[in-house]
Structure 1
Amino acid sequence: MMEPKAFGSFVKRGENIYRTSAYIQWGDSEESIGACLLQNPGSATLDKELTQLLNAVGSASGWIKAEDPTMKQLVSVIEGIYGKDKPISGRLHIYNIFNLQNTKSEDAIEHFENLVQSGEYDITKPLVNINEFKLHPWILLGWGVKHERRWENYRLIKEKWRKLIKDTKIPSFGKKHEKKNEYYHPCPLIASHRPMMAQELINIYKQQFCIQRFPSYATKPNLIVEMKQVEKYDDDDYGWYRTPANPESVVKGFSHLSIQSGYKLRAYQFSDGGGNGNGIVWAIPEKKELQDVEDCKQLDGFLSAPKPAHALSDFMQVIEGDKTPLSYLQAAIVYHELHEFGANWHGTSWGRDVILPVQDESGDESYENYSNDQWEMIEKEPDIKEPHFYYSREGYPVIVFHTINDIGTVTWNRYVHVFNKDDYTLKVEQTCIATGGAGIIF
């Protein structure tokens, strides 16, 4: 693979040097493979001949010296993202909050502040050509985390960059400060810390932008669970009653999930006496008992389900996991299973969903039965049919899978689960993307 090269354009005004543009080039393509936004140009300089030209006429463009550590670090990040063994062709564009060249971060900001106050640096001018900026598939943020109250102009120009990124809707990532809305520079001053930082940025990129696919069997429970009867239940079989069935067994069947300490899951069952059934699951404190139905508040809506006084509003609040992509897939399944816990006959909906791809008798997965002319497409056939995980542009974990449901009319459905960043609560959007004729009626 051809070695990447760095290119830069510089202008000189008085004793100050400004880098007006820069990029790292792989191969021959001029297409953007990404961009980064750093604080200001540091030690990257032109070769001797072009430096002489810069001093003589005030401007010069050409190849930047390869020993610059930031350039080397950015090369490591890009090759980690796209792979060293595969040919990379294109440009990583390098932008700066301000383009005054200075190797010391805090000195650079102080100098920038003085230039703005003296009128030598105009922060009201457009930051960059917006049409060029929109061409980047993503931007790495790494302008540093240091800030002082006196750096007012630095704060203002940084906000202009934030607004540009927001307005152009370019996906962004970086190693964010734990408490501040700032991003660590990708090239730490201590050389031994640089490989770890590069790997962190590669991991953050892959978590945020790469789609992880799963086989359909990953949606099944993968642990053997010893069934444990609940401590208090009713013997009724009509109307609402406390069921002996334990909804915790659903969660405990998945290896990446658990129930928050101090809480338990319990359920009420509804039966109409004719085979139809529904249920509702609640998360309650571990030391509390599920209240008698008669003592509960009755919810508005279908069947007026009982809600005990000490129950949380959403049982997903007590579902915990290890934050891996598989844990989110398992949590999505748990969400549906518990929302239909205790459902029978006409109470069933999710219970008739078959997650794609289907498995035949040999265990092989196939779309053969669901990719033929029987479908009347409402939306375009999805490129990815398998269950998959990714992070949204805003950083929310997302699980998507497709199902076939044969109740009434056969439908091909897409489920999109968007999880909270801090726990496993979620919002679900279900969309019918195709119909396939008459289904079953029961």
Structure 2
Amino acid sequence: MQVHGLFEQRENLIFRKSAYLQWGDSKEVIGSIILHNPGGAKLEKNLWNDLNSGKITVAEGQITRDLGKINLIEKVMKKVFTPLEGRLLLLNLFNIVESDPDLAIEKFHSVKDDPLYSELLYPNISLLSDIPWIWIAWTTNESRIEELIERIEPQLISLPHKRFIGDIDEKPHRKFGYSIKAKYPPIADVKRDKLAEILKRQIKEF
């Protein structure tokens, strides 16, 4: 597996503008996943240091560090697809690179109303219009991200298809009529096996 990312630094914050997981040589997009935020994902050390210091403002390449969550995703995908070939697009509720979820939320609130960051802060949901399926996996702890979910849900629901997969609870929403509560990919092997079976069944239903 390779992980490719495009990052931009602005006023001491780093944003991951796009990313994907690559298996094999095929450029076919097999699906997508929406997570909380990019966590602590980083490029190789020298390139990342140049970006972090402001020596450069944009950097693109292989993500080589802090791949814990990405490795969990790969383990599930290998159980769902045999063989596993193609690209999985990575999106987030917001694009700030920060490994501490609480600090990431603090940083989000500090810049959410600043037009300087508006085009960097949020994912481009239009990229998902023709994607076979969308794995919703941002977290069920909605109390701290309610504002972000309120923003993204109507965009997802307005897509030409509603091919959502994952360990999700689709209860009616008072505003949108469709609510998505989503869990992160599990750490435990047994739970990953269970999730893989759920994903296989959901994908076959499309």
TM-score of the two chains, using structure 1 as the length reference: 0.41
Cα deviations by residue, 1:256-293 (Å, 9 ceiling, x for unpaired): xxxxxxxxxxxxxxxxxxxxxxxxxxxxxxxxxxxxxx
Asked if 1 retains the 8 angstrom alpha-carbon contact of 2:80 and 2:199, the reply is yes
Q: What amino acid sits opposite 2:70 in the alignment?
A: M
Distance 1:107 1:129, change over 3 A: closer
Q: Which digits, 9 at most, give the CA deviation of each residue in 1:210-251, with x for residues without a partner?
A: 2xxxxxxxxxxxxxxxxxxxxxxxxxxxxxxxxxxxxxxxxx
Rounded to whole Å, the distance in 2 between the matches of 1:52 and 1:125 is: 21
Task: Select 1:52's aligned residue among 49, 52, 59.
Answer: 49
Task: Choose from 164, 189, 193 the match for 1:172.
Answer: 164
Q: Distance in 1 between matches of 2:115 and 2:142?
A: 22
- How many residue pairs get matched? 196
- Residue 106 of structure 1 aligns with which residue? 102
Q: CA deviation at 1:125?
A: 8.4
1:76 is matched with which residue?
A: 75
> What does residue 143 of structure 1 align with?
138
Shift of 1:177: 5.5
Q: Distance in 1 between matches of 2:111 and 2:121?
A: 15
Shift of 1:164: 2.4
Aligned-residue sequence identity (percent) comes to 27
- Structure 1's 17 and 126: CA in aligned 2 closer, same or farther, altered over 3 A? closer
Q: Where does 1:207-246 land on structure 2 (aligned, <5 Å)?
A: 207-210=201-204
Q: CA 1:178–1:209 in 2, change beyond 3 Å: closer, same or farther?
A: closer
Where 1:64 maps in the other structure, the secondary structure is strand
The question of whether the paired residues in 2 share the 8 Å contact of 1:8 and 1:61 is answered with yes
* Equivalence for 1:93: 89
Q: For residues 91 and 66 of structure 1, do their structure 2 counterparts lie closer, same or farther at Cα, with a shift above 3 Å needed? A: farther
Secondary structure at the counterpart of residue 157 of structure 1: helix
Decide whether the 8 Å contact of 2:185 with 2:192 is kept in 1. yes
**Matches of 2:180 and 2:19, distance apart in 1:** 25
Q: Check conservation: 2:169, 2:180, Cα contact below 8 A.
A: yes
Structure 1 residue 129: Cα displacement: 6.0
Equivalent pair of 2:125/2:156 in contact (CA under 8 Å) = no
In structure 2, relative to structure 1, the CA distance for the partners of 1:74 and 1:126 (3 Å cut) is closer
Name the residue aligned to 1:39.
36
Determine helix, strand or coil for the equivalent of 1:41.
coil
CA distance in 2, matches of 1:126, 1:181: 18
1:199 to 188, 193, 203: 193
CA RMSD, 1 decimal: 2.6
Residues 133 and 203, structure 2, Cα contact 8 Å, conserved in 1: no
SS, match of residue 65 in structure 1:
strand
Partners of 1:43 and 1:35 lie apart in 2 by 20
Partner Cα separation in structure 2 for residue 118 and residue 144 of structure 1:
26
State the partner residue of 2:183.
184
Residue 48 of structure 1 and its aligned partner are, at CA, apart by 1.5
Q: Post-superposition shift, 1:6?
A: 0.6
Question: Rg bigger for which structure?
Answer: 1
Q: TM-score, normalised by structure 2?
A: 0.83
Q: CA deviation at 1:67?
A: 5.2
- Determine if contact 1:5/1:66 at 8 Å carries over to the other structure: no
* Residue 75 to residue 56, structure 1, CA distance change in 2 (3 Å): same
1:18-38 CA deviation, whole Å, 9 max, x = no partner?
111111101112110110000
| More deviation, 197-206/175-184 | 175-184
CA drift of 1:137 comes to 0.7
Structure 2: give runs of 5+ residues left out of the alignment. 172-178
Aligned twin of 1:6 = 3
Q: Give the secondary structure class of the aligned counterpart of 1:98.
A: coil
Contact kept, 8 Å, 2:93 with 2:122, in 1: the verdict is: no
How far is 1:123 from its partner?
Answer: 7.6
2:20 matched to which residue of 1? Answer: 23
RCO (CA 8 Å, sep 6+): is it higher in 1 or 2? 2
**Counterparts of 2:66 and 2:120, CA distance in 1:** 34
> Structure 1: which 5+ runs fail to align?
188-192, 211-390, 394-442
